Structure 1
């Protein structure tokens, strides 16, 4: 049986990425146990130049074109998220952070803990309103994932460990022509952009 290699491009403040990766992981759980699966996570930043702690509502109203559109989008997150068993407490989200530090944290985390870490980052941001641009908050999230060397981890993030992988993800995204996330690359040949159902993922996984 052919191995499965998945390159997944996400941003940690992207609701669609949270839903998309959840859908993908549901599909992967239904793959035969003898099928070897490798997931490689890549950084993509929706707002690469944003300053830490910009007002979420203001940023989104600017992007969407008005308060009515903002309200509709927040409702959409709730409705779509429910399909994947996900909560989006967007009223608690006060900031649109720069996601560089969170991507660094993912990059330097052992591969066997990355999936769990990403899920906890999403939960912290979308359900609890945690500022994931804050290094101390990220260290707390890492600790909940079983990474307990707080002082060392904070030092590594502050001095830029993992930044080369973040930049590499951005560069490869540019080469692939990726303009939005989530984005999935199956066995380095099948490109999927946007939110897909678990059944669609299963179909693609089985055929590739």
Structure 2
């Protein structure tokens, strides 16, 4: 059996991050038991200067990428189809907002110590993209934490302080130093990298090549 360490540089606000992960997940299922992977999520902020109230998603995409409203709609339709292809439901409502994800990354750093980082990452993706829950509101985050049987009081203390801020910033700095400037980026055994929301077939081919080379 070949064992891989896969670090995923990601932002919960990035739809391609969950699409890419689901492609990776499907590839690993097909490659089992010959290849087994340990998954670790690393922080990335798409919009570190975004205020806490966030911004209307459609407005944000048009402003940031200089696309038209029609192009924005077409992009979301394409992403929704890619989501269906990998078993993830996108529900792009008129009320979705792009927010700063720093607090989410702080909670994920804490959840990793509890052995529940991956479960929280998946729950946050679903809460944002499928259920349209406002992840910039602490009450929403506490409900998600509670659903995973994580310590509610500890989570509240983290959100009300700057706990794990230094760790998140240090991990982000390390990714930048490695030349990572977009997400998702999948780092295999701290040596190889795969960028973007790749398909299961692409992941399967690349992971097979990596293990053979190793």
- Relative to the length of structure 2, the TM-score reads 0.89
Alpha-carbon distance in structure 2 between the residues aligned to 1:67 and 1:121: 27
Is 1:88 the counterpart of 2:109 in the alignment? no
Per the alignment, residue 174 of structure 2 pairs with 172
Q: CA 1:137–1:189 in structure 2 vs 1: closer, same or farther (change >3 Å)?
A: same
Per the alignment, residue 105 of structure 1 pairs with 107
2:141 to 138, 143, 148: 138
Task: Note the alpha carbon deviations across 1:156-200, whole angstroms, 9 max, x for none.
Answer: 222122222321221122112112100011111111110112222
Displacement after TM superposition at 1:108 (Å): 0.4
Q: Runs ≥4 in structure 1, deviation > 3 angstroms?
A: 30-36
Query: Are the counterparts in 2 of residues 42 and 169 from structure 1 also a CA contact under 8 Å?
Result: yes
Higher mean alpha-carbon deviation, 155-164 vs 45-54, is at: 155-164
Per the alignment, residue 118 of structure 1 pairs with 121
Displacement after TM superposition at 1:137 (Å): 1.0
Per the alignment, residue 3 of structure 1 pairs with 3
Corresponding residue pairs, total: 207
Query: Are the counterparts in 1 of residues 40 and 118 from structure 2 also a CA contact under 8 Å?
Result: no
Query: Are the counterparts in 1 of residues 107 and 158 from structure 2 also a CA contact under 8 Å?
Result: no
Specify the SS of the correspondent of 2:79: helix
Per the alignment, residue 48 of structure 2 pairs with 48
Q: CA RMSD in A?
A: 1.8
